[in-house]
Structure 1
Amino acid sequence: MATAYGPDTRDQYRPGDGAGSRPPAGRTKHFLPAALRAPVEARAWGELGYLLLSLPISVVLFTFAITMMSLGLGLLITFLGIPVLAAALAGCRGFGALERARARGLLGLEVADPEPARGRTGGLMSWVGAMLKSGASWRHLLYAVLHFPWATFAFTVAVTFWATGWTAFTYPLWHWVFPAFGENGGIQLYGDGTHQVYLDSPFEVAVTSALGLAVVMATPWIVRGLTWVDRLMVLGLLGPSRLATRVSELESDRGVVVDTAAADLRRIERDLHDGAQARLVALAMDLGLAKEKLADDPDAAARMVDEAHGEVKVALQELRDLARGIHPAVLTDRGLDAALSAVASRCTVPVKVEVDLEARPAQAIEGIAYFTVSELLQNVSKHARATRASVDVWRAADRLMLQVTDNGRGGADASSGSGLAGLTERLDAVDGILVVDSPVGGPTTVTAELPWRG
């Protein structure tokens, strides 16, 4: 360590810790741990690029937002202030689209577009009113104001750590410039009016490079922690509001419920037309023929009446099955335990049923739970090739939990457009969830979660 005399300067190194982020969508086998390969990964450079671009973009966005809003507020004493404010909000929404695209490209963050601001009549004033009433527009303005100071801070921190780390890490490659051109031994570590300390010995150069490497390794995680704040701001301020998202989900669910009800009505009509109605028509014809033969051939008439009696029994059984498919009486009278036990008794494999409920949920939820288990047990009978199955029902806080397990061949997939996909849509219409765990070779476990609503 050499000393010299000269002006007072000081270098500081501040390694820090960053926050983690979600794992990338595609996973590849790596031989190095994440901490060692992070500085050279494309994700780290993309996040750094995002922070570097944030400062100039936020300066332009902040300047535009403040200028336009100040102009609009100043002109409110005239009619021109209102359209100027609407134009300011529209411009912020345009910048918001750019920010969502930038987050998608550099951070891998998918953010849906917010609800559009559309006027009822389609005219200019209608558009101005819709823009001023839109909560999404004001959230974009808030993003423009808040993102500028944060982008400045994040840019400063990211550039400082990145430049300091790589500068110190590569110090052995360029420290020769100090004695050659700077008239000192190396980087000045300490100095006052009369005394300075330089890093110029081989040991000091190596330690400086090691510290720089540590900062280089820590910088991607610091940058990742900074971009997490950007992710939260983009998601919270530039995406659709929770209320708008919920309204969209409810509209979609309403369509699913209407389609399901229409499909059920068509099924009931088809079953009546092709089943009980056809048998009753044939029964009426047989009884008419028996009436005609009653005087001439009483024995034949008796045989025909006996056959008609059998048809009546079959028709009654079909009507009972149809009524049970609409809403079984045992479910109304005795609840899920008895109703699911009756369903399990008709399954082609032995089924163990356990229902642990101290009270009954709402009738609509109880009916959905019944038909969910019924359809899952039908899948076990038709497709699973299982030798046994089980049904468990219990309550967890304000949720009704159902679980159907079998030891069949597995391979069930709710995303392949099968009956499980339709079942998922039905449950989603009432804020329910369906989770399928069915590896090839089995076993299969299907868990359904419904709101209690007792």
Structure 2
Amino acid sequence: MATQYGHGYGEWGGPGSQGAGGRPHRLPLALRAPIEGRSWGEFCYLLLSLPIGIMMFTYSVTMFSLGAGLLVTFLGIPVFAATLAGCRGFGALERARARGLLGLEVADPEPLRTKRRGAMAWTGAMLRSGTSWRHLLYTVLQFPWAVFSFTVGVTFWVCGWALLTYPLWFWVFPMYVGQDGLQLYGDETHHVYLDNPFKITVTALMGLLITLATPWIVRGLTTVDRLLVHGLLGPSRLATRVVELESDRGVVVDTAAADLRRIERDLHDGAQARLVALAMDLGLAKEKLAEDPQAAARMVDEAHGEVKTALQELRDLARGIHPAVLTDRGLDAALSAVASRCTVPVQVEVDLPSRPAPAIEGIAYFTVSELLQNVSKHSRASRATVDVWRVDDRLLLQVADDGVGGADTSAGSGLAGLAGRLDAVDGVLVVDSPAGGPTRITAELPWRSA
């Protein structure tokens, strides 16, 4: 999902944030929080929440009540649909407001899907849409929370800054109000005013403490708003899962097409070309058989060598599609065979209580094969290890080496393509390869029993 809770934390002044020119901030976060853009953005969000919440709550309750009252007639149904459509419009406004003031990215929900055109089809789709009803629920729940958060946030913000700046404006009381200072307590016999330097200093210090605490209070309040926007105004889990599956299906189709092109290219440039040359050589040998039997015998002998080479290429190609040892003996034997062809010594440890499904087994095999190829080509390692084990309903495999490191999944690399293939089956690829090594790459696949 596109949602990123707390997105831009470093930019707003979190760990690792920097000042102008890329230099680290000299003030700690606790001291600079009251003047940071993030804090003022969150405070503005609370200020706008109340009027917008009143507007949304009034609209949704009024329209919903009107629709319920008109249900005795046919007019209640289109009124309900119009209510939900208006709530979806408010939802778009709230997502934009959260994006601009809170830095919260929430993807738009799935659009209405109608099989036919017309007002009746649109009304039916709107009433059947769970997203629309979640938007209506948001307009109802957001209002009481907006009242509470507005009251708390404004109270702390105003009190903190008012007390902090009290030394600058306390002169207003003796000059215009006729009292020595801000009255802290008073009854018929006693009056306490903040009127001497000590009391004024203590007041300013109290204001400083409240001012420093207010951004974190406001941040806690807006956390609830983040959860409401994310949970009720974004795409549903089902819709998100459908999008992920559609994307994964595209990756699988592209991968299969690329594999077919590779097989076709290997056949055309390898075994097919060699067999064509072999046929030509045998044809020449047949013509020379009567005239020069010795030359024909040499040509047949050379053709015999070409046949062996072609057979080896076909075996390698078949092994690249799906090795027979994997089908017959499982991952342990298949990975040991792959490790024996690696240019560095590889220790293989496979600890599996049973065999996974053939599809998962094949993906695990080709994942380790590609990682060991990277070890041979790029790592400059002296040794490597392969470990395969099961944890609950997940199959884990890890390839480690003591090479130079520096592997990453940046766009265009082989690891990026491998990560995409694993993601297509709900797998995960984690790369830990600091510069100078060692490299440790872990792949996680779903366990599906054979």
> Is the TM-score greater than 0.5?
yes
The alignment status of 1:255 with 2:274, answered yes or no, reads: no
Aligned counterpart for 1:319 among listed residues 294, 297, 314: 314
Secondary structure of the residue aligned to 2:121 is helix
Maintained 8 Å contact 2:346/2:386: yes
Give distance in 2, aligned partners of 1:431 and 1:241. Answer: 19
Give distance in 2, aligned partners of 1:285 and 1:202. Answer: 109
Aligned counterpart for 2:267 among listed residues 263, 266, 272: 272
Change (3 A) 1:248 1:235: same
2:281 aligned residue? 286
Give distance in 2, aligned partners of 1:96 and 1:397. Answer: 40
Aligned counterpart for 1:242 among listed residues 237, 245, 251: 237
Give distance in 2, aligned partners of 1:434 and 1:280. Answer: 40
1:391 aligned residue? 386
2:417 aligned residue? 422
Q: How big is the shift at 1:74?
A: 1.8
Q: How big is the shift at 1:195?
A: 3.6
Q: How big is the shift at 1:105?
A: 0.7
Give distance in 2, aligned partners of 1:320 and 1:272. Answer: 12
1:373 aligned residue? 368
2:179 aligned residue? 184
Q: Which amino acid aligns with 1:184?
A: Q
Matches within 5 A, 1:289-300: 289-300=284-295
1:57 aligned residue? 52
Secondary structure of the residue aligned to 1:158 is helix
Question: 88-97 or 71-80, which moves further after superposition?
Answer: 71-80
Give distance in 1, aligned partners of 2:434 and 2:403. Answer: 10
Maintained 8 Å contact 2:30/2:212: yes
The alignment status of 1:81 with 2:76, answered yes or no, reads: yes
2:21 aligned residue? none
1:221 aligned residue? 216
Question: 292-301 or 255-264, which moves further after superposition?
Answer: 292-301
Aligned counterpart for 2:99 among listed residues 63, 81, 104: 104
Q: Which amino acid aligns with 2:130?
A: G
Maintained 8 Å contact 1:431/1:451: yes
Aligned length: 435
Q: Which amino acid aligns with 2:285?
A: A
Deviation string for 1:377-412 (max 9, x for gaps)?
212222333343332222222222222223434333
Aligned counterpart for 1:24 among listed residues 9, 17, 27: 9
TM-score when normalising by structure 1? 0.91
1:5 aligned residue? none
Give distance in 1, aligned partners of 2:436 and 2:89. Answer: 52
Maintained 8 Å contact 2:419/2:429: yes
2:349 aligned residue? 354
Question: 265-274 or 86-95, which moves further after superposition?
Answer: 265-274
RMSD: 2.0
Which blocks of at least 5 consecutive residues in structure 1 are unaligned?
Answer: 1-19
Secondary structure of the residue aligned to 1:390 is strand
Q: How big is the shift at 1:323?
A: 1.1
Aligned counterpart for 1:382 among listed residues 374, 377, 386: 377
Give distance in 2, aligned partners of 1:36 and 1:333. Answer: 66
Secondary structure of the residue aligned to 1:353 is strand
Question: 75-84 or 305-314, which moves further after superposition?
Answer: 75-84
Give distance in 2, aligned partners of 1:372 and 1:94. Answer: 46
Q: Which amino acid aligns with 2:68?
A: L
Maintained 8 Å contact 1:290/1:302: yes
Aligned counterpart for 2:122 among listed residues 108, 123, 127: 127
Give distance in 1, aligned partners of 2:115 and 2:256. Answer: 32
Q: How big is the shift at 1:211?
A: 1.1
Question: 297-306 or 180-189, which moves further after superposition?
Answer: 180-189
Aligned counterpart for 2:43 among listed residues 45, 48, 63: 48
Q: Which amino acid aligns with 1:451?
A: P
Q: Which amino acid aligns with 2:9?
A: P
Give distance in 2, aligned partners of 1:312 and 1:94. Answer: 71
Give distance in 2, aligned partners of 1:363 and 1:106. Answer: 50
Give distance in 1, aligned partners of 2:370 and 2:244. Answer: 25
Secondary structure of the residue aligned to 1:62 is helix
Give distance in 1, aligned partners of 2:295 and 2:173. Answer: 123
1:15 aligned residue? none
Maintained 8 Å contact 2:382/2:402: yes
Aligned counterpart for 1:92 among listed residues 78, 87, 94: 87
Secondary structure of the residue aligned to 1:75 is helix
Give distance in 1, aligned partners of 2:413 and 2:96. Answer: 35
Maintained 8 Å contact 1:353/1:390: yes
Q: How big is the shift at 1:25?
A: 4.0
Maintained 8 Å contact 2:8/2:103: no
1:310 aligned residue? 305
Change (3 A) 1:269 1:21: closer
Change (3 A) 1:106 1:192: same
Maintained 8 Å contact 1:414/1:421: yes
Maintained 8 Å contact 1:112/1:239: yes
1:335 aligned residue? 330
Give distance in 2, aligned partners of 1:217 and 1:21. Answer: 20
1:434 aligned residue? 429
Question: 312-321 or 141-150, which moves further after superposition?
Answer: 312-321
1:6 aligned residue? none
Deviation string for 1:307-362 (max 9, x for gaps)?
12111211111111111101111212222222112112212223232323333222
Secondary structure of the residue aligned to 1:352 is strand
Q: How big is the shift at 1:446?
A: 2.0
Question: 205-214 or 245-254, which moves further after superposition?
Answer: 205-214
Maintained 8 Å contact 1:21/1:224: no
Maintained 8 Å contact 2:335/2:365: yes
Maintained 8 Å contact 1:21/1:225: no
2:14 aligned residue? none
Aligned counterpart for 1:174 among listed residues 160, 169, 177: 169
Q: How big is the shift at 1:140?
A: 0.7
Aligned counterpart for 1:301 among listed residues 288, 296, 301: 296
